A and B are shown apart, each in its own frame.
Chain A
Amino acid sequence: MKTMMSKEEGLRSMKLRARWVAVVGALGLGIGTAWAGAPDVPAGATASASGPGAVSGSGAALVPSAPDTASAAAPPQSKTPPVSWEGAVPLEVARPSEMCKAVRLGEWARVTCSPPGFIMDIRLMAGSADGVLFREAKAEGGAHLIFPMREGDRREICVSVQTGSGYTVEEDLAVVVSEVWLPGEPAPTIAIAGNPR
């Protein structure tokens, strides 16, 4: 039996129904779920990313910070992410965002993002998955993005939140974290776009 609907309704319905495939799965994954093995947040280790550029956004000065050369000098760590972040230090982020804080422990970075709204999913869009972990950040009401910083990296991680208009559920990109350390460069360059709508 044919469903009678306008072209607009039809196409939107197709799109939304398809989205629901993702949404249904994501609803149980958001903030507040149990997180086996999620690392605790060490007190005092969540210093905000800083730099002369302050925050991104419409009110921001856009001058970026210099790369965090300290991270390049960090001694090699284990190939697995740290279990504890005790002793982590603030990570200099070239283009920080108000939505995220970043710390470093050796070569490992942990970017903690708390975008407004319900996190639908986090995805590794580019780069190696080796060592990458996404974990809930209970205290911050967000998520930890954990990854190693190694020469050759071209990594991008996207955090999406739920949007919609009451009867629809859609997702929208809320945070994009870009980490680039091209061969020959002294240090990785991390750029975070918060709520790049």
Chain B
Amino acid sequence: MACLSGAIVACLSGGLAGCSSGGSGAGAPAGTTQGAAAASASAAAQASANNPSPSRPGPSTPREGQAITRSAGGDALYVAQQDLSALHVLPLPLDASRPPLRVALPGRPSQIVVVDAERVLVTVRDPGLVLVMRPDAAAGLVETARIPVAADAFGIALTPDRARALVTSAWTHTVSAVDLAANKVVFSLDVPREPRGVVVSPDGKRAYVTHLTLPELTRMDDLNGAGRVTKVPFAVAPLRSREAAPEAATLAYTGVLSPDGARLFVPRRALSGDGKRPWAGQPVVDVLLTGDDSSLAQPPTGRLPGYTTKELEEARTFGTGRGPFADLTFGGGFPIASEAFIQPRAAVYRSSTRTLLVASEGTDAVVELDALAIEPGAHVLRRHPLRGRTWSPKAGLERALVIGRVDGSLYRIETEDGQGPLARDETGLLNNASSGILIGIERRKSPPAEMVIRQVMPDDSPGETMCGAPTGLALSVDERTAWVLCRTTLGVAEISLEPDKDLARAQRISPRVLKLEDDPLPAEAALGRRLYFNASDGTLSGGFACAGCHPEGRDDGHVWQELTDSQDEERNDPKSEPCATYLATPTLPFFFPFVGTNFVGTPMQYGYTRQTPMLAGLLAAKGPFGWKGRSPDLPSRVMRGSSLHGWNLPEQFCGASNMKARALALAAFARAGLFNPPRDERPLTAEEERGKAVFADSKTGCQTCHVPATGYTDRSVVPFAESPLVFEKSGPVKRYEPEKDRMFKTPSLLFVGGTAPYFHDGTAATLEELIDKNRDRMGKTSHLSADDKKALAAFLRTL
């Protein structure tokens, strides 16, 4: 067992109580026995609903898996760091003199759940396993049983009696039930793409599964029998979605049940939601009422009374001074809320406060949201920054909003990436304004008189963070401390949930961090990993990270609109791609009235369709890259892609030295640090062999372009006819712009079975549909028999 350097790497608070008292917090008991914990969970939940009390401990050892969790005795943390293919056991309270124990695993772990004092379950992604482990004083954890499940095992949750575990397998779209007495799978059910989070209701009668690439949920019933799955429609940001926008949501890594099981909270990214960056959707927490599987949030009904049409019209148009406040008919948009989080990666319910803690992967923060509210994502009660910067201009402050009274005494400073509030002496902004770019000052007339200053500072410290990409959350027994797995910095952060007034300033802005291991990746790739998940890098990200659309290097299943500047397009330079940006949905009422006149030289109302491509396992070739094959190599594509995806990246930034270094780092990580989906290594079935023969047949011509020896692509750029399905899909409303340039780079077919929908416009839901409706645009398939087509699809799924 390798026990690498474990050390408290940062504790800005020096001798503060929080640094010395560890995780138990305020003298609370370190933990409870598992039996007591299980019994107390429902009681605590009931008490929470009836008589909240700050001193009441929350439920212990949750039944839902996390990448980090507390031991049954509360004396240790178990950490599953998938990039290291190992578990780490950290004694509590955290102490630099007691470094973590490393437990090597047969594959990459995803989640851990504690069954009781003797059993800890760990999901392993590839090969698909549930490991049964026993706590051991010397080794940390010792494997006692190994239960094979469908590959890419990700989420895990226990039934209330802790007799069964439900396990999601993401790539293989399966949910398995494991009998924990017999250590065997009792049923496995096929579910839609990318099942991730799973929760079981307190009565044990049903479970809910979230999907990374889909808006709907899967409900499972008959958990003690053979299991049964039902698709549950789940409205996406119903109060903030644009009319006529197709419902689309991604990044639902997790779901959290309220203690009584009445509400299911699902943090995710609403691509149809309006917000600060409407082109990229809006992070939200949607709430399902499990009693009838309806959304808690329902759009308004009726109109506000008391206003005449004339009054409203006058108010809407000119503001006559006589009208009322605007009502729901006013403006045409939504109240714009700052993003509470970006890329929600994990969440826990804090019973004692009835709040949700959500790990914001993109901003290196944990936010605390009000679980009592209809829209918890709009009810931010507190932010727990994990980046831990010193926030001086010299450290590379990207952007800050400073609000102060006219007498100069600041009362609030917030940064646009959600790292505030901070105090004046932590920023030095007003004392060092000359070191940044002052872009505006506003003095307000309404009381309280105040001014607003915005500053933009050059970001010269890429990837700087104390806790990169928070990936898992665990609460102490008394719920006064939270521990966070920092994926990209390979550490565990400890944050105090005590009221700010009880904390020293340094505690408020910097977590304690215990490093698990030194990073095995080369330095450049390690930087690339930090950037890949970072949505706040001023040069690269533009508000969302690579991982926001390519979660774990896979695709999010979404079809975007690429809005192209026709000035560039008209140049038709095959060596460069036109300046463009991506929009999440084709209906952006705020934008499009102006698109044809202001930004794009000629009218382009909807954009070209571009499905998010998968990255993992498909980047080994030198080049070219991009839909049109116009980027000669991967770093070039990263730079181009950053301009495409981050709306605020002017063309002139591409190629700048700070961008190039980032692109090289990202390319290095994408090739060395992304993990391929699991592959089922077995002999082909008779049907798959038949499909292989069809694929190789010169009459079909598949492998003329999809050359097996080079990853099922020859990387050439070939003409591709317009998909008639675009118009079939969109019906009377034309939502996509016809392609002017019909040349596309031949895509690789590796892993194609797991990346539905298909075509660049996503118009084929399955491989069967792709083949059936190919209409001889790719090779010749119209002559194939139904069995041949079925066999071809079966073969493609093995690639």
Contact = CB atoms under 8 A, between A and B. Distances in A.
Nearest to B441: A166
A31 interface: yes
A29 B338 contact: no
Nearest to B329: A123
Interface stretch (A16-24, A39-47, A83-91, A103-111): A16-24
B643 A25 contact: no
B446 A118 contact: yes
Contacts of B649: 7-8
B379 A196 contact: yes
Given A7-B581, A22-B332, A134-B325, A28 B380 contact: no
A63 B370 CA distance: 10
A52 B378 CA distance: 22
B316 interface: yes
Given A156-B374, A166-B442, A180-B374, A58 B598 contact: no
Contacts of B15: none
Contacts of B647: 7-8, 11
B454 interface: yes
Given A63-B352, A170-B336, A180 B372 contact: yes
B323 interface: yes
Nearest to B289: A182
B318 to A, nearest CB: 7
Given A2-B601, A30-B446, A129-B305, A178 B326 contact: no
Given A6-B651, A182-B289, A165 B442 contact: yes
Given A6-B651, A25-B330, A173-B335, A59 B499 contact: yes
Contact of A121 (B326, B340, B368, B589): B326
A118 B446 CA distance: 6
A33 B321 contact: yes
Interface in B530-546: none
Given A126-B297, A173-B378, A62 B355 contact: yes
A172 B297 CA distance: 21
Contacts of A3: 597-599
A189 B326 contact: no
B650 A8 contact: yes
B606 to A, nearest CB: 15
A127 B338 CA distance: 23
B53 A193 contact: no
Nearest to B319: A28
A25 B304 contact: no
Interface string B5-32: 0000000000000000000000000000
A59 B302 contact: no
A72 interface: no
A172 B599 contact: no
A62 B383 CA distance: 12
Contacts of A63: 52-54, 352-353
B317 interface: yes
A129 B340 contact: no
Contacts of A191: 370, 372-373, 379
Contact of A116 (B333, B338, B448): B448
Interface size on B, as a range, is: 35 or more
A156 B579 CA distance: 40
A55 B326 CA distance: 27
B336 A160 contact: yes
B52 A66 contact: yes
B307 to A, nearest CB: 10
Contact of A123 (B315, B335, B421, B589): B335
A86 to B, nearest CB: 21
B8 to A, nearest CB: 25
Interface size on A, as a range, is: 35 or more
Nearest to B508: A58
Nearest to A35: B324
A58 B421 contact: yes
A21 B332 contact: yes
B441 to A, nearest CB: 5
A126 B374 contact: yes
A31 B601 CA distance: 41
A154 B325 contact: no
B300 interface: yes
A193 B379 contact: yes
A63 B52 CA distance: 7
Given A59-B499, A66-B52, A124 B335 contact: no
A139 interface: no
Interface in A133-189: 133-136, 141, 143, 154-156, 158-160, 163-168, 170-173, 176, 178, 180, 182, 189
A10 B297 contact: no
A33 B322 contact: yes
B374 A10 contact: no
Given A14-B595, A95-B372, A143-B325, A64 B444 contact: no
B190 interface: no
B435 interface: no
Nearest to A127: B300
B447 A141 contact: yes
A57 B352 contact: no
A63 B589 CA distance: 40
Contacts of B353: 53, 62-64
Contact of B379 (A17, A27, A36, A178): A178
Interface in B622-668: 643, 647-652
B414 interface: yes
B452 A172 contact: no
A16 B227 CA distance: 52
Contact of A130 (B279, B302, B597): B302
A129 B328 contact: yes
Contact of A37 (B278, B306, B332): B306
A64 B304 contact: no
A119 interface: yes
B234 to A, nearest CB: 16
Lowest 7 A-B CB distances belong to which pairs?
A: A28-B319, A165-B440, A166-B440, A10-B599, A129-B302, A121-B326, A193-B379
Given A166-B452, A173-B336, 18 more contacts: A3-B597, A3-B599, A5-B598, A7-B650, A7-B651, A17-B598, A18-B593, A62-B499, A117-B450, A125-B375, A126-B239, A133-B306, A134-B324, A163-B452, A171-B335, A178-B375, A180-B374, A193-B380
11 contacts: A11-B599, A29-B325, A58-B508, A125-B375, A126-B300, A127-B298, A165-B439, A166-B452, A167-B440, A176-B337, A180-B372
